[in-house]
Structure 1
Amino acid sequence: MPTPHPRIAILGNRVSDLNLVQLEHFTDLGGLLAVAVFDVLLLDMPGAYAGRVLSKLRTLPSYRYRLIYCCRDQDSWCEALGDGACPVEASEITARWEVWQERFSLLRQGPAPERFESRVLAWLWLRDHAQVCALRDPEVPQHYRYPLLEALADSEQINSFAWLALMVQQDWLEEGVLVDRVRLCPDCGSGRLNFIDVCTECQALDIARQPSLHCFTCGHVGAQESFLKDGVLLCPNCLNRLRHIGSDYDRPMENYRCRSCHAFFVDAEVQARCLDCGLSHTPDQLRAREVRDFRLAEAGRFRCRQEFSDHSGRHFGRLSLLGGKDFYDLLSWQILLARRYPPPAFSLIGLRFVNLPGTLSLLGEHRGHAFIDSLADRLKESVRETDRCSRSTEEFFWIMLPHTDAKGLECVKQRLNRVAELFSAPEVSDISLRVITLTAPQDLLDQENGELLLARLASELE
């Protein structure tokens, strides 16, 4: 049985001002880890030290997902690994913990997240508005790191930037604020670059800014000092005296001189020399990388609901639910078949459950999952084993019916009317069902593939 109030501990040098009966005080990390795990932990210490403690706690399975607040100033490690500043009111801590506890209880119903991606998604799902935050660190070659990913990786070796790009591609995560844009060596991937000016002719490093003169009589260009002879200007090539600038001579734009090959040039060539591998590249050869924060996407949130509940996962598994990209590819293939070959055609049904996410939030995690289970059962009664389904968001549900013409589509639509009966209860009465249908190939537009088709139908369901 869950306790009505969270067990709260404070780790630090002074007692918190919060008036909590459940509050226990520890002065060192070893003492905290020697007792049973607390529901909420308050770190009352300077931000720099709190960040190091947080980094240690997040690697421990016992405190990996727990709510941990920082009571004093927060450094970037605290922001990346903690749950923000400590709430002023004890009631607010309890309210946040209750929301967290509902989701954590669902997480414990199924098997513990073993895959790295499941651990990261679970951490984000357990807390609203959580992000995978980038941290600037001059000690790493790429200048930025993601402390949360490092803490949850355990012993796995991961490339944080490549993994985040893959999660965005699969729609589990979405991009947040653009933190920075860095240039990396195309050979070793390091961002430790030294930009140097070199000679345009021989690429030597030993160049210097040097005033030069241009003799109009013979066209000789040389260093200004070579034109000086006994206090007057004489061309060292034709020995003519240079009296008037503009008529006898001028100052050319070439202000740089190479001390190796003695060439004169206007602007030096810029090269980026990698301080790790030592190779040099022109700036346009460098690999640009955007550094961003990331948050849980709607598809990722739905995956967590499905993965961390035994019942929900079982029901939707029976619906042959496909991921977004797999469903797009299958639909595009069906479109090509429908256009190239004669009937039988295929049909598509789009369902939008208006106000479903808001209603689930009001119901809470447990009642919300029970309602989703009931909804999945009703859908299962209407869907055939050969049909394929997908959910692009929590509101949108798609059913593809192979070898189904307009007449067969009408029969399926009639069976789907039973789904709307679920919304008659007062607590879910705000949900309404919108339906759109299509039969290929007659209802298709020119050059339309699976992704474009779903986007068009989704806009019509708005």
Structure 2
Amino acid sequence: MSSQYPRVAVLGSFTSGLGLPELNRFSDLNTLLQAPAFDVLLLDMSGSSAGQALRRLRKSTVYRFSLIYCCRDLDAWCEALGDGAPPSEMKEIAPLWRLWKARFSLFNRSGTADRFESRVLSWLWLRSSAEVHALRAPEVPQHYRYPLLEVLAEDEKVNTFAWLKLMTEQKWLEEGVLVDRIRLCADCGSGRLNYVDVCPECHTLDIARQPSLHCFTCGHVGAQETFLKDGMLLCPNCLNRLRHIGSDYDRPLENYRCRSCQAFFVDAEVEARCLDCGSAHAPDKLRIREIRHFRLSEAGRLRCRQGFSNEDAGLNQFGRLNLLAGKDFYELLSWQLQLVRRYRQPSFSLIGLRFVNLTETLVRLGEHSGHAFVDSLVDRLQEAVRETDRCTRSTEEFFWLMLPHTDADGLLVVKQRLSQVAELFSSPEVSEISLRIVSFTAPEDLLEQETGELLLARLASEMA
């Protein structure tokens, strides 16, 4: 078959009305796995069956990253591991597969499929709008699991919640929809908790609600039985006779007595007891965890586009410049601001470049033509970047250049050189790209209390 069209197979009972006799059809998953690998799979079965099949397929190195569509109802496993429902027209699969193939070839060249982190980021990058879905699972102690991370982990022992937090801190992933907020045992981390009312004095569970009275004369509150004497109501504390409810006494809404220590109290104390390790905690001492879906961040997409060439994703293309990770650049910029704020020297400048419509143009050009264009763009930028300058990219469109020991006059020279980059956008294929430039010089443009990250955000808004 032509490389322009994928080899498609259908797994299932063939009752979905697809009506495509030219497709390869399999009724058994084992038979499919024994056959030569297909480019795209269609699961024509119920949601629960499709979810089970997806778990096996994603664990297979052959179909780990492949496009797999579920033709019928989607259960939670289908949403977490599949590519959704197939397009309404089967001919629409071909362009989706070609885009997937171009991206997969870039990832495959990097030789990092053996790393868990790279597998997850690449899986997300290979498909538009993909997310790491959280799945409610009462059978696990934390009540939620992330199926994609489990199947891509292979034999590695991965703490999924800790790994997601680390990836978010490193800016490769970003938080998506908030699914739930759960409370966990402070000792073992289990979410299997039982909330019970206990005695505030001895913390026993054996408490009971008991009718009580409140004497208005002395304020004494006690069990109703202690006020009964010779058929009358007498306060056991001040011995006054209680005749009229509302003027002499009243009944508290709720009162409890502990059957162990005989303590009498109005409100019981709530205690969270872990059903796994047996520890007891006050509710405000439990660990709170937000359960979210996660998606690829701008920095993560950039790292995937650059092919995971090194740990910092910075050697390929734009990495040929003195490119720093976003956090490192923010810290360096903040340090420069502190020096100038305190000593008023040395001067330094900052230039922001925004390549408007760059992302859309690269998608339209395709991976290979897009990379060729980015290479020429980097070559032109290298002519303006000095060895002592430092750069970063906050998104695929925003490029930042920090120029140490550069005053306003030196900044003007660099801006003139950078403006020549716009000459690359004269050809029809990339004519939609435009260049916007913003600049900053310290100490002249310095604002009080402004950190490096806030400064970049302010300048970025000027290029919006």
Instruction: Identify the TM-score tier after normalising by the shorter chain.
Output: over 0.9
Matched, 1:422 2:424: yes
Relative distance call for 1:351 and 1:246 in structure 2 (3 A) is closer
Matched, 1:66 2:45: no
Query: Which has the higher mean CA deviation after the structures are superposed, 447-456 or 391-400?
Result: 447-456
- Please state whether the residue corresponding to 2:292 is helix, strand or coil: strand
Q: Identify the residue that residue 334 of structure 1 maps to in structure 2.
A: 336
- Please state whether the residue corresponding to 2:14 is helix, strand or coil: coil
Do the aligned partners of 1:312 and 1:372 also contact (CA within 8 Å) in 2? no
Q: Identify the residue that residue 442 of structure 1 maps to in structure 2.
A: 444
- Please state whether the residue corresponding to 1:138 is helix, strand or coil: coil
- Please state whether the residue corresponding to 1:36 is helix, strand or coil: coil
- Please state whether the residue corresponding to 2:379 is helix, strand or coil: helix
- Please state whether the residue corresponding to 1:295 is helix, strand or coil: strand
Shift of 1:206: 0.6
Q: Identify the residue that residue 273 of structure 1 maps to in structure 2.
A: 273
Shift of 1:241: 6.9
Amino acid in the other structure paired with 2:462: E
Shift of 1:90: 1.0
Q: Identify the residue that residue 374 of structure 2 maps to in structure 1.
A: 372
Do the aligned partners of 2:45 and 2:72 also contact (CA within 8 Å) in 1? yes
Superposed CA RMSD: 2.5
List aligned pairs for 1:146-185, cutoff 5 A. Answer: 146-185=146-185
Quick one: distance in 1 between partners of 2:417 and 2:236?
Answer: 99
Task: Give the aligned length.
Answer: 461
Relative distance call for 1:413 and 1:219 in structure 2 (3 A) is closer
Matched, 1:402 2:404: yes
Amino acid in the other structure paired with 2:149: L
List aligned pairs for 1:317-332, cutoff 5 A. Answer: 317-332=319-334
Do the aligned partners of 1:67 and 1:83 also contact (CA within 8 Å) in 2? yes
Shift of 1:177: 1.0
Relative distance call for 1:366 and 1:242 in structure 2 (3 A) is same
Shift of 1:347: 1.8
Matched, 1:258 2:261: no
- Please state whether the residue corresponding to 2:383 is helix, strand or coil: helix
Do the aligned partners of 1:8 and 1:22 also contact (CA within 8 Å) in 2? no
Relative distance call for 1:302 and 1:15 in structure 2 (3 A) is same
Do the aligned partners of 2:344 and 2:443 also contact (CA within 8 Å) in 1? no
Quick one: distance in 2 between partners of 1:418 and 1:249?
Answer: 90
Quick one: distance in 2 between partners of 1:219 and 1:346?
Answer: 73
Q: Identify the residue that residue 130 of structure 1 maps to in structure 2.
A: 130
Query: Which has the higher mean CA deviation after the structures are superposed, 435-444 or 70-79?
Result: 435-444
Shift of 1:17: 3.2
Matched, 1:315 2:324: no
- Please state whether the residue corresponding to 1:112 is helix, strand or coil: coil
Quick one: distance in 1 between partners of 2:108 and 2:418?
Answer: 34
Quick one: distance in 2 between partners of 1:220 and 1:325?
Answer: 63
Amino acid in the other structure paired with 1:301: R
Amino acid in the other structure paired with 2:93: I
Quick one: distance in 1 between partners of 2:379 and 2:21?
Answer: 45
Do the aligned partners of 2:209 and 2:254 also contact (CA within 8 Å) in 1? no
Quick one: distance in 2 between partners of 1:245 and 1:415?
Answer: 91
Q: Structure 2: 5+ residue runs without aligned partners?
A: none
Shift of 1:304: 0.9
Shift of 1:127: 0.5
1:51-74, CA deviations, whole angstroms, 9 ceiling, x for partnerless residues? 121112112211110011112222
Q: Identify the residue that residue 92 of structure 2 maps to in structure 1.
A: 92
Q: Identity over the aligned pairs, expressed in percent?
A: 69
List aligned pairs for 1:172-321, cutoff 5 A. Answer: 172-214=172-214, 221-225=221-225, 232-233=231-232, 235=234, 237=236, 243-246=243-246, 249-307=249-307, 313-321=315-323
Shift of 1:324: 0.6
Shift of 1:229: 7.1
Do the aligned partners of 1:190 and 1:274 also contact (CA within 8 Å) in 2? yes
Shift of 1:271: 0.8
Do the aligned partners of 2:227 and 2:236 also contact (CA within 8 Å) in 1? no
Shift of 1:299: 1.6
1:400-438, CA deviations, whole angstroms, 9 ceiling, x for partnerless residues? 122223333233223223311100001111111111222
Quick one: distance in 2 between partners of 1:244 and 1:430?
Answer: 87
Relative distance call for 1:389 and 1:250 in structure 2 (3 A) is closer
Q: Structure 1: 5+ residue runs without aligned partners?
A: none
Quick one: distance in 2 between partners of 1:451 and 1:184?
Answer: 34
Quick one: distance in 2 between partners of 1:236 and 1:340?
Answer: 74
1:331-372, CA deviations, whole angstroms, 9 ceiling, x for partnerless residues? 112222333446442221111111111222222222222211
Q: TM-score, normalised by structure 2?
A: 0.92
Quick one: distance in 2 between partners of 1:307 and 1:258?
Answer: 66
Quick one: distance in 1 between partners of 2:229 and 2:343?
Answer: 92
